[in-house]
Copies of this chain bind each other. A is one copy, B any other.
Amino acid sequence: MTRSAEPISGIDTPALVIDLDAMERNLHRMAAFARQAGVRLRPHAKMHKSAELARLQLAAGAVGVCVQKTSEAEALAARGIDDLYLSNEVVAPAKLVRVAALARSLAARGGRLAIAVDGAEGVARLAEAVREAGAALDVFVEIDVGQGRCGVPPADRDPVAAVELARRVAASPGLRLAGLQAYQGKAQHLRSPEARREASAAAVSAARATRQALEAAGLPCPLVTGAGTGTYALEAASGVYGELQAGSYLFMDRDYADNAADPAHPPFEHALFVKAQVMSVGAGRAVVDAGHKSHAVDSGLPRVHDPFGRRAYAFENGGDEHGILRPLGGAPLPGIGETIWLVPGHCDPTVNLHDRYVGVRGGLVGGRVERVIPIDARGALT
């Protein structure tokens, strides 16, 4: 087990390591951005799954955090996070009982739970659970602004659907219509700033039309919430979105770094790494002790990060427990036991593979372990 004040060399591998200095710069840069833009920041905690990191975000000005699962909400609420938005649909009756109970207990301590809906059946089930528990809940109507996943069509594609659903929410005792959930996930990783701008503009336009349709129908729409690390500045400037849900900015993974940056908004720094070590050296290759079980590969393989900036290796798939390094540009093969730092392809599912972060201070070269941070909602799937 990693102890505090230990040197980085003492961290057993594979391990999920946060460069705390880099993370804190990311934290404050996004917080300052939201403040200056005049929008609320509600980072998505499905990314880090940690009450301690959520508290840092709240201390820096976030109004609360988003979660994606009922059990994630429960895990963070149990560790003192009071303002939670379950930005997803929940339809299973047994889970809705838990949602309603959580809404009650958060309200009792001055907090708040919100949730998203995208269908009449879901609203009816939610209303029943809330009624039976004597609870109350903020409800966002989710509209599909281009992702093609959950959400009713926005008003520029269907003048009736969102208004009709919002009316059901407003008419249900215990459910407060809180606005629109409008996240365009597919826009986040479009590589060129122009393509992201185009996709975000379409999402903004759809959200604006839907808000207008609600208001024209006499329904309140106090808040449009959405946006991610790839497009946050665009939604912030839209005049439509009042809240940003970006999450990955805190850690910045390889997939986000592969976006061509918008010159107006410099990219965040890599702050999350898998520490691995060389366990085998063969002809033209070295093998490290980290594979699919240490880093998620849904968004591609990790990138090898050399904190010294001297050596380059390509990372190849070595299966569940291994990764294969090929030297690039004449780099020498690393030796047995040598430390290798990997920038995960996608931070969210990588975090979900680990029980804890090892937070280091003073950089990856010469720094020291400052503290271990539990990943409280690791495996919170339901």
A contacts, CB < 8 Å to B: 10, 12-15, 46, 68-69, 88-92, 94-95, 118-119, 121-122, 144, 148-153, 185, 277-283, 285, 287, 290, 292-294, 296-298, 317-322, 324, 336-337, 348-349, 352-355, 378-379, 381-382
Q: Are A89 and B14 in contact (CB under 8 A)?
A: no
A152 / chain B contacts, CB cutoff of 8 Å: 282
Which listed residue, B319, B348, B382, touches A185 by the CB 8 Å rule?
A: B319
Q: Are B91 and A149 in contact (CB under 8 A)?
A: no
Q: Which B residue's beta carbon lies closest to that of A299? A: B292
Q: Are A336 and B280 in contact (CB under 8 A)?
A: no
Q: Are B381 and A349 in contact (CB under 8 A)?
A: no
Which listed residue, B153, B283, B379, touches A353 by the CB 8 Å rule?
A: B379
Which listed residue, B150, B285, B324, B337, touches A92 by the CB 8 Å rule?
A: B337
A355 / chain B contacts, CB cutoff of 8 Å: 379
Q: Are B379 and A336 in contact (CB under 8 A)?
A: no
Q: Are B336 and A285 in contact (CB under 8 A)?
A: no
Can you name 4 extra interface pairs (CB under 8 A) apart from A290-B381, A292-B296?
A: A13-B382, A14-B382, A149-B280, A353-B379
Q: Are B319 and A281 in contact (CB under 8 A)?
A: no
* CB contact under 8 A between A122 and B318, given known A92-B13, A94-B12: no
Q: Which B residue's beta carbon lies closest to that of A337? A: B91
Main secondary structure on chain A at its contact with chain B? loop
Q: Please, how many angstroms separate the alpha-carbon atoms of A282 and B119 in the complex?
A: 9
Q: Please, how many angstroms separate the alpha-carbon atoms of A122 and B337 in the complex?
A: 10
Q: Are B92 and A12 in contact (CB under 8 A)?
A: yes
A290 / chain B contacts, CB cutoff of 8 Å: 381
Q: Which B residue's beta carbon lies closest to that of A278? A: B91
Q: Are B68 and A281 in contact (CB under 8 A)?
A: no
Q: How far is the CB of A125 from chain B (nearest CB, A)?
A: 8
A296 / chain B contacts, CB cutoff of 8 Å: 292
Name 14 interchain pairs, CB-CB below 8 A, sorted by A: A12-B95, A13-B92, A14-B381, A46-B321, A90-B279, A121-B337, A148-B285, A185-B319, A292-B298, A293-B349, A298-B317, A352-B353, A354-B379, A354-B381
A297 / chain B contacts, CB cutoff of 8 Å: 297-298
* CB contact under 8 A between A349 and B336, given known A118-B280, A150-B279: no
A91 / chain B contacts, CB cutoff of 8 Å: 277-280, 336-337
Q: Are B46 and A121 in contact (CB under 8 A)?
A: no
Q: Are A320 and B281 in contact (CB under 8 A)?
A: no
Which listed residue, B150, B153, B352, touches A280 by the CB 8 Å rule?
A: B150
Q: Which B residue's beta carbon lies closest to that of A185? A: B319
Q: Are B12 and A149 in contact (CB under 8 A)?
A: no
What are the 8 closest A-B residue pairs judged by CB atoms, nearest first? A150-B280, A121-B336, A292-B298, A292-B349, A68-B321, A89-B279, A12-B382, A297-B298
Q: Are A280 and B89 in contact (CB under 8 A)?
A: yes
A281 / chain B contacts, CB cutoff of 8 Å: 119
Q: Which B residue's beta carbon lies closest to that of A319? A: B185
A149 / chain B contacts, CB cutoff of 8 Å: 280, 287, 318-319, 322, 324
Q: Please, how many angstroms separate the alpha-carbon atoms of A49 and B20 in the complex?
A: 33
Q: Which B residue's beta carbon lies closest to that of A285? A: B148
Q: How far is the CB of A86 from chain B (nearest CB, A)?
A: 11
A336 / chain B contacts, CB cutoff of 8 Å: 91, 119, 121-122
A379 / chain B contacts, CB cutoff of 8 Å: 353-355, 378
Q: Please, how many angstroms separate the alpha-carbon atoms of A229 and B185 in the complex?
A: 38
Q: Please, how many angstroms separate the alpha-carbon atoms of A336 and B89 in the complex?
A: 11
Most B C-beta atoms less than 10 A away, residue of A15, A281, A349: A349
Q: How far is the CB of A128 from chain B (nearest CB, A)?
A: 13
Q: Please, how many angstroms separate the alpha-carbon atoms of A15 and B149 in the complex?
A: 21
